[in-house]
Amino acid sequence: MEHARLQLVNKLFNDRPKSYKYNLFQMKLLIDRLTQHYNLTDYKQQRHNLAFVTVDKQLSPDIITHLRDYEGFSHFVLLSCVDWIEDDKLQLTYLLNQPNHKYEIGVRVLIDRKNPEMVSLHKMWKQIWTYQRELHEAFGIIFPGSPRLEENFVLEGWTEKPHMLRDFDTKEYAERTYFPRPGRTSNDPATYMREKLYPNQPVTAKTNKND
């Protein structure tokens, strides 16, 4: 019994690196195949089963269609956005999953921050329009033709600048809108506790890493 258990553990243990290498190899093959067809701006292998490719905005619908129809990425996981205010860009990430090989690819698209506009992909996966509605509210990105794009998603009746853009000052907005209580102060918990509770204790590397 014990022997059989050990055998099983060994088998599992030995199988893991194999599938790891296998996955990595499959992903490399996939990227090779992609580069034959399309011009990828950037490529990053995040994990053995997750890679990110950056593609041109004009090419991205083609690449995502190709991935879905020819590479078996049938499951759309999520669509997210990052505000790179220093580069004046908004980065969209379409995360796709391949259920057979169990690996994922993130297709990154950089769009102009001044003119945030992207092709709507709601015809490929129906659920995308919800993500597009969310991004429209949070970042002000426009997806022409996406259904119910102008409706409220989380906030109701928001009239300010899109709230997830990094140049939207949320503290200033809160102070302007929500009647801040006068006399409110805040303390750094670590410093405050050391001063109030343990004033005689010497500051060591253990009590505060930053000192």
Smaller CB distance to another protein: residue 14 or 58?
Answer: 58
Q: Are 51 and 45 in contact (CB under 8 A)?
A: yes
Strand order in the sheet with 75-84: 40-47, 50-55, 103-112, 89-98, 75-84
Residues facing residue 166 across a β-bridge: none
Beta strands in the chain (DSSP E): 40-47, 50-55, 75-84, 89-98, 103-112
- Shortest Å, Cβ 163 to another protein: 5
Smaller CB distance to another protein: residue 99 or 147?
Answer: 147
Q: Are 81 and 91 in contact (CB under 8 A)?
A: yes
The binding site for another protein (CB under 8 A) comprises 114-117, 140, 142, 144-145, 152, 154-163, 168, 170-171, 173-175, 177-181, 184, 186
Burial of 107 (0-12, 13-18, 19+ CB in 10 A): buried
Tokens read off for 208: 């505060």
Smaller CB distance to another protein: residue 99 or 145?
Answer: 145
Smaller CB distance to another protein: residue 181 or 209?
Answer: 181
Smaller CB distance to another protein: residue 13 or 178?
Answer: 178
- Shortest Å, Cβ 146 to another protein: 10
- Shortest Å, Cβ 133 to another protein: 15
- Shortest Å, Cβ 204 to another protein: 28
- Shortest Å, Cβ 166 to another protein: 13
